[in-house]
Structure 1
Amino acid sequence: MKRRRALLLVITAVFLLATVLAGCSKSAEGPQTDPAPTSPNSQKEGTEKTGEENPSDVWEFGSSELEFSAFTHYSWQDFPEKMEDAPLWKYLKENKKVNIKSILASGNNDQLMATMMADNKLPDLIYAERNHNDIQRLYKAGKLVPLDDYMEKYPNLKKWLNPKAADLLRAPDGKLYQFPNYYATIPNGSSAYVINKKIYKELGSPKLETIDDLYNYLVKVKENYGSEIVPFDPERAQDAQGIGLLYGGFKENAYYRSFNANTIAVVDDANNKLSSLFTDPTFRESQKFVSKLYREKLINQDMFTTDRGQIQERVINGKVAVFAGASPLAYASQGNAELSKEDPDAGYFVTWPFYKEGLDKNKIYTGGYDQLGWNVNVITTDAKEPEKIFAFLDWLTGPEGMAVQYFGPEGGYWEGFNENQEPIFTDAYDPVKVAQIESDNDAVIIAGNSSYIDPVKVKREMDKPFEERGWMTRYQESITWKTHIDHTALGTNLVPEAGTELADISVNVVDIFQQALSASATAKSDADVDKILDKAEQDAVALGYNELLEWRTQQWLKNKELLGQ
């Protein structure tokens, strides 16, 4: 299978990398395993530094040239090939003397990363899932730059990142090597159901609240539009995204995170442990609903092979009735702007999560938020100027960087900052064009600071009537931020160390889950769903799933304790 083939490549790469590092200096040795020291960014209450002068050796971002290579370790995206291809990067090149050289994988990220590790020629900056085994491997090989000293010199990450959450990111040696993206101390996230407004009106604007309402609506879509419209399009079903939203509608306080490859478990609050996803009654019920949609052609028949570009095209062209995913708002905002240009009745709106009849709608969550966000950036020891790269990331996550990423360069839609470091918006501010800026920068927002930008966006829009607010902001404030549960304790330290027996079990369980997910979603009957998930549970247990669940339970409980939960 592709996953096992990729794993074999990685194992080979690690062996070769270890051989190369064997004769290196002390700086290339693996990190020490002493107990983690007290977090350097943990301060006593009331001692936060304010107004102090920066150390004299701090490099001012943009004062001199900065060039580095960057690689996004995801199969579904690359960084732009040219800096001119994203507004933010274009601005950086023209105004901040930055030249970023993208390393493109074109979907073959695992293979390319394995090759780079084997050749001992790494990108200067890697953007990846924080729990990715390759990040662990690079750490153990001594190939990552610690960030603690830089964090003390540059102000923004230290100011905005919750120290308790930061401690979850620390490596076994107690040091911080990862710079998080979209970290937050308040609910955030964009998992949602997006509804085609024109189709909804043409069908009589029916009630859309429960799971049954959704089913009846999709039936009407198919009856009235045939193959011209995809009734329900779940984004990245292979990662359980759109399917995961449906799962959350069948149980109060359900965790969307249960489907993550680094979790694959259900929170059992009654027994304070993590339990099998395969035997979870809610998962079985939701998968039976998905397979029913599939059998009746009410859901995208190619949902497990459709790429993001195809979904984006359908959304922009209005060929989807209901669109669901972990981050559908960027595409939907773009589609709403395009469709409404020609027809004011066209476009999209976001609806409250669908829920099973009888459940409390206010305890239904389409997603979760993590105080550490989603992704991380690491700087490798191949970087010639690691401190400058950190300064760049720190600028991105601060007020000026956030303002440029979301609202464009200063002098356009904003000019200067107020006493709270919030951008002062000009009369030229255009919510449609601002939403387009955010959408166009989506792939290069790698150090997002949700705690800063979300309140800024809301404050700018809340004095306006609902329909005049920025499309994305209006639905984030009114729906998505209210329907995301805190899953920080499930978000990190649940990945076994690479090369261990538990790591092998985890890889095998992921394979079993992905196969069972697609097989049960496309099953011919409810009975077949049960058979598929029974077999998945049997196979997973035989390979050590129970041991993995027990270990993850202990890690989860430690995380909760560290977070004070």
Structure 2
Amino acid sequence: MSKMKKPLLVMASALLVLVTVMTGCTKSNEGSPPPTNNPPKTNEQPNEPPKENTEDKWVLGEKPLQFSAYAHYQDTDFPKWESTPIGKYLSEEKEVKIDMIKAAGAHTQKLSAMMASDDLPDMIWTDRDHPDMDRLEKAGKLVPYDDYLDKYTNLKTWMGDDLNLLRSADGKLYRFPNWYSSRPFGNAGYAVNKKIYEELGSPKLETTDDLYNYLVKVKEKYGDQVVPFEPHRAQERQGLGVLYTAFGEGASYTNLNANLLAVPKDSKLTSLLTDPVFREAQKYISKLYREKLISQDAFNQTEDQVKEKVMTGRVAVYASANPTLFASEAHKELTKTDPNAGYFMIWPIRKEGLDKNKIYPGTYTSFGWNAAYITTAAEDPEAIFAFLDWYTGPEGMNVQFFGPEGKNWKGFDEEGKPNFTENYDPKEVAEIQTKNDKVMFVGNTSYIDPAKWKYMESLPVEEQDWVARYQQTITWPTQLNVTEFTGLNPPTDSEEGIIRTSVDELFLEIYAKSSMAASDEEVDKILDQGNKDLMDLGYDRLLEWRTVKWQENLAKMQK
């Protein structure tokens, strides 16, 4: 699930007509400074915002800033900075230039080579608990942020006390989280092809039995021209992980994550492979697989291949950690030529008899999904941190989402949200967000979600943004908070860290084999042997180590 790194309202391809009159735009506050200390009003936020230390403070635009950045994700490279709206604006107006380092798919080799030659990028953006970052930290190659937090206060203000859970074993903070939030968020779930659904009579689609019967009908009618169930990239636990949650109340998508790979039970983390819910889900999945109701290349297809199928409407049901990214774009394109085409989202599928309000196809933490690290290669790490802190604050968030102040927004209201102007262009805004998506390094969900919804809620339902509408009604209410399970990765050079790597590699093999099993009996056989093989690698020791850390997290959260 390393690719669960998309923002919440970022990917919207607006299906809106141009709106010339905005509601709620107050001109009395136009041009007012951004609210740097106005976090969401929740019990999770500190009562008093930290006081800024303005002495020798780096200010965006007062002097040039140039640094290198690298996205350490397979199949992901940062685009050229100036090719994005935010990059072009900041480069031309604020003299901020970022040199993007590409790996062209060879990310493991690329970072290993940079580490070996001690030629690191100034900033690395990757998983919040990536083992390669552990190695760099141990080698003293990461810059701690502690000295900057009271000087540049957006992160500390908006993140609150939960920021302490991101500290490393030495007590220092090296991670700047992305899409952190104090409120539920996330996009995991199911998108359904509207045209196919209506052609098949718009049947009930609520339970796993309903889903199976529907997929059978899809295959009978459309044959190989349509993929009945598209699970995105299964090797990243994507759509199959979503389907797993249908079989248990409170079953967590994160249970399959390499950073957990366990099921909590009686204050302990227990083996995923012995979990009855996981086993039942695997039997259901293998049935779909052997009846060719699911993508036969689910474990080796690329993102581009998935997108092509969704964009051309050749998918009946699409499940993913973030189906809104492709489905919203596809909806926009398909409805251009056929108003009855496109996609819609459904309430999460559940096994018959389970409470629909206790099924969570996705998860969230207050830390989001990934993080930005500054390395000791940076000539001025404080300036980079100050830039990231501005980027994550109200002004930075608004420029990334709505463009530079003046056209679509101007100033802030009394709640710190942007004032949208009568010139607000939803099509332009959607394009800005889509093009900026891959360079949103340190998104602030707590701020931007209410800011975006301020505009959307003023529109008729049929004109509301596709993503925003389904987030409000389906995805956000059905995401599970798993903040307590963060930071459960042992150091890579420890015995548990070595076990972790081996366990995850073997688990993916077991996961794929059991998903493609020829029968329920074979699923049990594969999982029985797989559990034994994992234990032989030290899986039980890893579970014990993670249980201790999990209990420590719970203790910290209760303080």
- Over 3 Å counting, the alpha-carbon distance change for 1:409 and 1:227 in structure 2 is farther
Partners of 2:84 and 2:435 within 8 A in 1: yes
1:88: how far off? Answer: 2.4
1:193-219 C-alpha deviation (Å, 9 max, x unpaired)? 111111112221111111111111111
Q: Corresponding residue for 2:516?
A: 522
Distance 1:371 1:534 in 2: 35
Q: Corresponding residue for 2:84?
A: 86
Q: Is 2:312 aligned against 1:317? A: yes
Q: Corresponding residue for 1:356?
A: 351
1:230-268 C-alpha deviation (Å, 9 max, x unpaired)? 111111210111111001000001111011111110111
Q: Corresponding residue for 1:151?
A: 149
1:508: how far off? Answer: 1.4
1:168-193 C-alpha deviation (Å, 9 max, x unpaired)? 11122221111000011111111111
1:46: how far off? Answer: 4.1
* Secondary structure of the structure 2 residue equivalent to 1:479: helix
1:44: how far off? Answer: 11
Find the partner of 1:172 among 148, 169, 174: 169
Paired residue type of 2:261: I
Q: Is 2:175 aligned against 1:181? A: no
* Secondary structure of the structure 1 residue equivalent to 2:334: helix
Partners of 1:184 and 1:451 within 8 A in 2: yes
* Secondary structure of the structure 1 residue equivalent to 2:410: strand
Find the partner of 2:471 among 476, 480, 499: 476
Partners of 1:252 and 1:363 within 8 A in 2: yes
Q: Corresponding residue for 1:249?
A: 246
Distance 1:306 1:548 in 2: 30
* Secondary structure of the structure 1 residue equivalent to 2:273: coil
Q: Corresponding residue for 2:71?
A: 72
Q: Corresponding residue for 1:33?
A: none
> What does residue range 191-230 of structure 1 map to in structure 2 within 5 Å?
191-230=188-227
Find the partner of 1:500 among 471, 474, 494: 494
* Secondary structure of the structure 2 residue equivalent to 1:416: strand
Q: Is 2:289 aligned against 1:294? A: yes
Q: Is 2:504 aligned against 1:510? A: yes
1:107: how far off? Answer: 1.6
Q: Is 2:538 aligned against 1:544? A: yes
Q: Is 2:118 aligned against 1:123? A: no
1:63: how far off? Answer: 2.2
1:138: how far off? Answer: 1.0
Q: Corresponding residue for 2:133?
A: 135
1:54-73 C-alpha deviation (Å, 9 max, x unpaired)? 51311111222111111111
Distance 2:511 2:349 in 1: 21
1:520-541 C-alpha deviation (Å, 9 max, x unpaired)? 1111111111111111101011
Find the partner of 1:261 among 248, 253, 258: 258
Q: Corresponding residue for 1:22?
A: none
Q: Is 2:95 aligned against 1:97? A: yes
Paired residue type of 1:257: T
Partners of 2:70 and 2:124 within 8 A in 1: yes
* Secondary structure of the structure 1 residue equivalent to 2:219: helix
Partners of 1:234 and 1:242 within 8 A in 2: yes
Paired residue type of 1:148: D
Q: Corresponding residue for 2:418?
A: 423
1:492-526 C-alpha deviation (Å, 9 max, x unpaired)? 2x111121211121111101210011111111111
Paired residue type of 1:485: L
* Secondary structure of the structure 2 residue equivalent to 1:182: coil
Partners of 1:195 and 1:351 within 8 A in 2: yes
* Secondary structure of the structure 2 residue equivalent to 1:440: helix
* Secondary structure of the structure 2 residue equivalent to 1:453: helix
Distance 1:442 1:398 in 2: 16
Q: Corresponding residue for 1:233?
A: 230
Paired residues in the alignment total 516
* Secondary structure of the structure 1 residue equivalent to 2:373: strand
1:413: how far off? Answer: 2.2
Partners of 1:337 and 1:432 within 8 A in 2: no
1:427: how far off? Answer: 2.7
Q: Corresponding residue for 1:48?
A: 49
What is the Cα-based RMSD across aligned positions, in Å?
Answer: 1.7
Q: Corresponding residue for 1:564?
A: 558
* Secondary structure of the structure 2 residue equivalent to 1:559: helix
Distance 1:127 1:142 in 2: 17
Paired residue type of 1:561: A
* TM-score, length basis structure 1: 0.88
Partners of 1:255 and 1:267 within 8 A in 2: no
Partners of 2:251 and 2:359 within 8 A in 1: yes
Paired residue type of 1:68: F
Percent sequence identity is: 53
Partners of 2:74 and 2:105 within 8 A in 1: yes
Q: Is 2:394 aligned against 1:399? A: yes
**Structure showing greater relative contact order (alpha-carbon pairs closer than 8 Å, 6 or more residues apart):** 2
> What does residue range 313-352 of structure 1 map to in structure 2 within 5 Å?
313-352=308-347
Partners of 1:406 and 1:438 within 8 A in 2: yes
* Secondary structure of the structure 1 residue equivalent to 2:308: helix
* TM-score, length basis structure 2: 0.89
Partners of 1:83 and 1:89 within 8 A in 2: yes
Distance 1:383 1:233 in 2: 43
